[in-house]
Amino acid sequence: MRTPAKCTAAVVAAVLAGGTVAGAPAARAASGCQWAPATLPVPEGYRLERVGTGDGAGAVTGTLRPKSPGEPLIGVVWRADGLQVPGAAFGLDTELTDVNASGVAVGSYTDPREFGQFPLNHAVRYTGGRFERLPDPPGYANTKALAINARGDILGAAGETAASGVGPSIVWPADAPGTVEVLPVPSAGWQVQGGIDDDGTVAAAVLAGPGFTGYVLPRSGPAIPLASPVPDGDVVPTAIKAQRIAGYAGDAGAFLWHLDGSVDRALPGLRNVAAMNSAGAVVGYADGGTTLFLPPDGGPAQVVAPAGQNARASELAENGDVFGTATVSAPDPVPAAVRWHCG
């Protein structure tokens, strides 16, 4: 059993205004502004594991790995006024994946004592200064909380056992505390969760037959399939915001869909979508790995980070800032938590 991580005053006092990513020149955007990357602080004794999503106003979740053997992974929240360190749920490996404007963070912890090589994941939320385990749906024992909307609905995924992983989409509704719902889809199959909107609408894809079919899953009523803009190919939603759905369709690239499942338009230059804000701006990837920002009007695309920085975006704030990870090239290549700002 691992022991809880110890959080020092220096950890809690760390602030967002980190330095510029070493060796990473700012990319000039098509609009004339420059996308300047700045590193987010990681406390002494830890290294970055991953960056999650956030509240759209600059708070973003993350997971850190201790450099000392035997200590657990911990969850953190980068905020405009400093670094919050919820730490490790129940002293065990913990990842945080999202946080809303009320400061409620969600994620999961892993107990290595359960099933050895395939330990179970248990969904949690962090609120009021403490972790709370979220209930498992009947028949499932392996759960992860992936996203939370403004009112507190939590989107997750479940699996029957640790070995089976996580698949079916589930929701812990804010208006029914202590309950959990397995979202109905037309066919059984592996699922990919694309997100939850502030009204509780979920976007997901189901692997059925030769490929993935995308769906809109409203709070009430049947699942609505997303129309494919091409004759063949997977349809996978990756973001939902303000009644817009973004994702990709096979090799045809990225698209927007309406809530009725119809195709809105193609997103020029993007192979896939990483995040979207409520204004309709999108950040995603071009062929070759370049990270692009697409304004709400659809263009022209702006280069946030070139392919050589190995950038992975996870959050697009309402003010247009992009959060994610990138490679710091000096003195040694290491992944860093990064905020890109177009100034």
Check residue 20 and report its DSSP letter: B
Residue whose pair of structure tokens reads 């059984």 in the numeric block: 188
Task: Quote the pLDDT of residue 94.
Answer: 98
The distance of Cα 332 from the centroid of its chain, to the nearest Å, equals 27
The dihedral sign for the CA sequence 245, 62, 304, 288:
negative
- Mean per-residue pLDDT for 165-180? 91
Sheet of 34-39: strand order equals: 27-28, 34-39, 334-342, 322-328, 312-316
- 5 band by pLDDT with thresholds 50, 70 and 90: very low
- Mean per-residue pLDDT for 186-204? 93
Task: Quote the pLDDT of residue 87.
Answer: 98
Residue 29: strand, helix, or coil = coil
- 115 band by pLDDT with thresholds 50, 70 and 90: low
Query: Is 315 a residue whose pLDDT tops 80?
Result: yes
Average pLDDT of the chain to the nearest whole number: 87
- Name the percent of the chain lying above pLDDT 90: 72
| pLDDT tens readout for residues 126-140 | 999 999 999 999 989
- 330 band by pLDDT with thresholds 50, 70 and 90: low
The two tokens of residue 8 are: 């020092």
| pLDDT tens readout for residues 239-278 | 999 999 999 999 999 999 999 999 999 999 999 999 999 9
Whole-structure pTM value: 0.89
Task: Quote the pLDDT of residue 210.
Answer: 82
Q: Are 106 and 157 in contact (CB under 8 A)?
A: no
Residue whose pair of structure tokens reads 């692997």 in the numeric block: 207
